[in-house]
Amino acid sequence: MEKNLETVFQDKVDQEIKIEPKDWMPEKYRQTLIRQISQHAHSEIVGMLPEGNWITRAPSLRRKAILIAKVQDEAGHGLYLYSAAETLGISRDEMYDQLHTGKAKYSSIFNYPTLTWADIGAIGWLVDGAAILNQIPLCRTSFGPYARAMVRVCKEESFHQRQGFELLLTLSKGTEAQKQMCQDAIDRWWWPSLMMFGPNDDASPHTAQSMKWKIKRFSNDELRQKFIDMIAEQVKVLNMRLPDANLKWNEERKHYDFGKINWEEFWQVVGGNGPCNKQRLDARKKAWADGAWVREAATAYAKKKASLNPSKGGTSETV
Amino acid sequence: MNKSINISTDQLINYLLHLADNSLIMGHRNSEWCGHGPILEQDIAISNIALDLIGQARNFYQYAAIPIKQSTNQPINLTTEDSLAYLRDTREYKNCLLVEQPNGDWAQTILKQFFFSTYQYYLYQQLQNNADDQLKAIAAKALKEVTYHVRWSSEWVIRLGDGTDESKKRLLRAFDELWMFTGELFEPASYELNMSTDFILMKEEWNKKVCSVFEEATIDVPVEKKWHQSGGKTGNHSEHLGLLLAEMQFMQRAYPNSEW
């Protein structure tokens, strides 16, 4: 019986028919998706922090508005993704709990600090750029709600990437101090961005199964190479350089060769020892704890209203 | 511009800066919540309000820059929305004291928003009929946004007042913190006179709305008593504004004459 269900499931996947929440699915597929989607949602929410760090110091009103709108978009992405994960039978509160206790991960890139205004541009260009390459294939991922959420996310992310590039382009045409700020940000964000694609394929334990289930469509190394090829060209427009002495076009491979990634650093940051791991998690936990009385009040009020007027429910929109 | 009541250029400039400063400082405070809200949906809502307010401030600053440029005789005048926002110091800022107050907890943030948005609502309702076409257009557009801000914040005041004992206690504490800054809203500064706004009517409408929302929130507060602080409109601010500006203006001060 189980075997038949599994065959039906895999047939659907092979034929590119989307799996929907009520369809039968292998338990491991469900768990893999919960892990991946919630990790993605947490990344959006934690990712609001390093960029939010510069909202109150943005150098012009236009930049301030763009940055608020961007960080707000990340919150929106978090919402779509938490909703997509909820269709798999886990609640948003449970996912938050996993984040706060360290059981669930988020993208390690957000454990690096934003030290200057140029970091906001570098995050848009490099971090969102890397995220997009990871995410575009997810628009065709086998699980329907995830794929549909990703279509919206990707549209907004490419907009953010262009904004980030435009921010850096402005700096690159500015004063000496601005140019230095721009190069410094690229120097600091380049290697962590490359690590965003995850470990090398031979060290990536989940890849094969995820490919079979079409949760994943390209390997970490394929996507990383694509990113490097793209950025190595774009950086020329900025008149800046990437901090890798071994970066060189390889005519035979038709790809850029690049230097060795410091995987020791990657695993340290994943393991909780990055410069801002504690700070980021503390900020999320504090927001959640400080908001407890607000959520309780909203729930109490909604209940009161629903009991007074059961046909209409509360007077106010859901919170 | 209504010439018959003879508004001087200085008065118009000061008035526009006052309106812009109110929106900018309030929007800036709201943006401090971004990423730290109690509920993800509300994080988005308050950031949205921050965006609306910063948009309003930009419209007023851009308009103010026109008469400022015309009234100075320097060959090149570099007045822009950004020079007005980032290169004036505390004593030149004309926002009311209410908006510069720290966010405090969610109750304080909500109550501050409710007091301010209700004020903006009645003010813009009058300004959308102003003789000055530009002012009229900005107010009419902003009124649509503010209508939502009033709805959102009053719903939250009601929810917190009629929610749990804890939320009621916090809302009452917020009232104690903020009430003293509401009187200034209806004390016109010299540049607000002759702008065809009826402050007595505005105060009446504001009081009525506040009382009705408080009633629904089941909170009983002495809205008439208490001393009111004022001075913000003429540059006599609380200590909070200097720190806010130090943070907000940091980049423009540290890296002058740069394009961003």
Residues A1-57 pLDDT 10s:
567 999 999 999 999 999 999 999 999 999 999 999 999 999 999 999 999 999 999
Which residue of B25, B28, B30, B44 to mutate against A (max A Cβ within 10 Å)? B44
- Residue of chain B whose Cα is closest to the Cα of A65: B51
| Structural Rg of chain A based on CA atoms | 21
pLDDT of residue A209: 87
B42 shares contact with chain A (CB less than 8 Å): yes
Is residue B99 less than 8 Å (CB to CB) from chain A? no
Whole-number Å distance between alpha carbons of B121 and B146:
6
Q: State whether residue A58 is helix, strand or coil.
A: coil
Residue type, position A132, single letter: I
Which pTM does this prediction carry?
Answer: 0.95
Nearest chain A residue to B156, by CA: A298
| Residue of B195, B199, B196, B184 lying closest to B236 (CA atoms) | B184
CA distance A104 to A43: 10
Q: B163 vs A296: CB contact, 8 Å cut-off? A: yes
pLDDT at A1: 58
Continuous segment of H or E residues that includes residue A250:
strand A248-250
Q: What is the CA radius of gyration of chain B?
A: 18
**Each residue's pLDDT expressed in tens, for chain B with a length of 260 residues:** 444 445 789 999 999 999 999 999 999 999 999 999 999 999 999 999 999 999 999 999 999 999 998 887 666 668 999 999 999 999 999 999 999 999 999 999 999 999 999 999 999 999 999 999 999 999 999 999 999 999 999 999 999 999 999 999 999 999 999 999 999 999 999 999 988 899 999 999 999 999 999 999 999 887 776 789 999 999 999 999 999 999 999 999 999 999 99
Residue A206: its pLDDT value, please?
A: 73
Question: What pLDDT score was predicted for residue B2?
Answer: 40
For residue A290, list chain B residues with Cβ-Cβ distance below 8 A. 36, 38, 105-106
The CA distances from residue B241 to A289, B109, B174, B232, in Å, are 28, 16, 19, 10
**Average pLDDT over chain A, rounded to whole?**
94
Residue B229 CB contacts under 8 Å (≥ 6 apart), including other chains: B97, B180, B181, B183, B184, B238
CB of B217 closer than 8 Å to CB of B201: no
Residue with tokens 């003293």: B180
Q: Which fold has domain B9-254?
A: Ferritin (1.20.1260)
Tell me if A75 and B32 make a contact (CB, 8 A cut-off). no
Q: How confident is the model at residue A73 (pLDDT cuts 50, 70, 90)?
A: very high
State residue B69's pLDDT score.
Answer: 87
How far off is chain B from A301, nearest CA to CA, in Å? Answer: 5
Could you tell me if B44 lies within 8 Å of chain A, comparing CB atoms?
Answer: yes
Question: Is B38 close to A290, i.e. CB distance below 8 A?
Answer: yes
Selected for mutation to probe chain B from A45, A72, A106 (highest B CB count within 10 Å) is: A72
Contact B54 A178 (CB under 8 A): no
Question: B residues 102-161 near A, CB within 8 Å?
Answer: 105-106, 155, 158-160
Closest Cα partner for A319 from B95, B249, B73, B43?
B43
Distance of CA B21 to the CA centre of its chain: 7
* B253 in contact with A, Cβ within 8 Å: no
Contact A132, A294 (CB under 8 A): no
Query: What's CA A34's distance to the chain center, in Å?
Result: 15
Residue B95: phi, psi to the nearest 5?
A: -75, 155
B31, B163, B260 member nearest A68 (Cβ): B31
Spatial separation of the C-alpha atoms in residues B181 and B204, rounded to whole Å: 17
Q: For residues A154 and A213, give the distance between their C-alpha atoms in angstroms, rounded to a whole number.
A: 21
Contact B163 A301 (CB under 8 A): yes
Q: Return d(Cα B260, Cα B246) in angstroms, integer.
A: 18
DSSP string, A6-54: HHHHHHHHHTTPPB-TTS---HHHHHHHHHHHHHHHHHHHHHHHHHHTT
Average pLDDT value for residue range A270-275: 94
Minimal CA–CA distance to A213: which of A138, A139, A141?
A: A141
pLDDT for A74 beyond 80: yes
Question: Residue B240 has what pLDDT?
Answer: 98
Residues 6+ apart with CB under 8 A from A226: A133, A218
Query: Shortest CA distance to A133 belongs to which of A214, A205, A70, A194?
Result: A194
The CA-atom distances, in angstroms, between B198 and each of A107, B85, B129, B202 are 55, 28, 12, 6
Contact A291 B41 (CB under 8 A): no
Report how far Cα A118 is from the mean position of its chain's Cα atoms. Answer: 20
ipTM for the predicted complex: 0.95
Kindly state the tokens that stand for A139. Answer: 């628009």
Average pLDDT over residues A87-104: 96
